[in-house]
Structure 1
Amino acid sequence: MVAMKQARHPERDEITLIAVVGALSDPIRLGLVRVLADGRERGWSELRAPVAKSTLSHHLRVLRDAGITRTRQEGTRCFVELRRDDLDARFPRLLGALLSAADSDDVGAAVGLADDAPAA
């Protein structure tokens, strides 16, 4: 049996404001966080974004490396979830404020779930 390489996730106290704000400065990444804000773990194949799969993978890695998401691999499938509890513990109300502003300005609206109709 071949052991799969597990992604490194920063510990809660290693998550920095600069990394979080930098990662969320991209509309695609902010859109991914908006999708994940419902608290459900999603398979990468469930996510829809107007970018190539390799670019989507890059965006998901940036979010993981910043401590915003947690990625879990199961066989050949990858799943991602928002680390809301960790983010709220480190930066109270920051995520809520960013999500509210993103919703208000419709930032990241082109990102959704594969079974949703594409944004106009």
Structure 2
Amino acid sequence: MPATARTAATVRTLPHPAPEELRLEGVLHALADPIRLRIVRTLAERRHENLACSAFELPVSKSTSTHHFRVLRESGVIRQHYEGTSCLSRLRRDDLEDRFPGLLTAVLQAPPSPSGK
């Protein structure tokens, strides 16, 4: 098999809902968890960057962190892709704003949870 075919065959892709498939209840569920909200706030602050999961300092195990990123991706809050072995994340700000105008802005402007998570 040629190198380009082998490389293309080994690219890992992750499923994401299309913008029109985003559901308010799914987005709100994803944003309701303090750890997931912390991830979203970090992505919003570093708006023009794709961040590796390892860039987040989260007070949970790696498997729990993976779960939180999956919930955010499957609800349509973030987009993830692989570069090599790194899974990079980016906030789907434009898709969320188009589908639910003002929601993300309101969530990000709310004071952080007093629990400190």
Name the TM-score class by shorter chain.
0.7 to 0.9
Correspondence for 2:41: 34
Which of 10-19 and 34-43 deviates more?
Answer: 34-43
TM-score between both structures, scaled by the size of structure 1: 0.84
Q: Say if 2:37 is the partner of 1:54.
A: no
**Cα RMSD after superposing both structures:** 1.4
Aligned residue pairs, count: 107
Gaps of 5+ in 2: 1-5
Instruction: Find runs of 4+ consecutive structure 1 residues off by over 3 angstroms.
Output: none
- 1:1-120 maps to which residues of 2 (within 5 A)? 1=6, 3-38=10-45, 39=47, 40-101=49-110, 104=111, 106-107=112-113, 109-110=116-117
Correspondence for 1:115: none
SS in 1 for 2:73: helix
Structure number with greater Rg is 2
Percent identity of paired positions between Structure 1 and Structure 2: 45
Q: Is the 8 A contact 1:31 1:109 kept in 2?
A: no
TM-score between both structures, scaled by the size of structure 2: 0.86
| Distance in structure 2 (CA, Å) of the matches to 1:77 and 1:37 | 20
